């Protein structure tokens, strides 16, 4: 019987992000190895800002600054 190869499945943590203009995005993915440690969830902010810059470049519409973010509730 053949063994299955490991898939290298990456774990994600989901966040809800609230922006200065009052808009909100739900279930933003962040790799679980990118957060934790001494800083807690704060490294996720840099990832969200990088994603927002990339989206703004493609769409031509800048995103407001991040006001707050929190982990999305799990099911």
pLDDT attached to residue 40: 85
Q: Which residue has the tokens 């203009």?
A: 21
In a domain, 7, yes or no: no
Q: 25 forms bridges with which residues in the sheet? A: 17
Global confidence as pTM: 0.76
**Residue at 6 is within a domain:** no
Question: For residue 38, is it within any domain?
Answer: yes
Q: Is 51 inside a domain boundary?
A: yes
Q: Does residue 39 or residue 60 have the better pLDDT?
A: 60
Question: pLDDT tens across 43-69, in order?
Answer: 999 999 999 999 999 999 999 999 999
Q: Alpha helices of 1-75 — where are they, by DSSP H?
A: 43-59
If one counts the domains in the chain, the total is 1
pLDDT of residue 19: 96
What residues make up the domain containing 34? 12-71
Provide the β-strand partners of residue 16.
70
Check pLDDT > 70 for residue 27: yes
23, part of any domain: yes
Name the CA radius of gyration of the chain, rounded.
16
Does the residue 4 lie in any domain?
Answer: no
* Average pLDDT of the residues in 14-36: 92
């Amino acid at each position: 019987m053949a063994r299955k190869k490991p898939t290298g499945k990456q774990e994600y943590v989901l966040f809800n992000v609230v922006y200065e203009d009052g808009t909100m995005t739900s279930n933003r993915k962040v790799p679980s190895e990118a957060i934790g440690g001494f800083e807690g969830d704060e490294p996720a902010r840099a990832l969200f800002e990088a994603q927002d810059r990339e989206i703004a470049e493609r769409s031509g519409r800048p995103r407001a600054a991040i006001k707050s973010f929190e982990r999305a509730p799990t099911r």
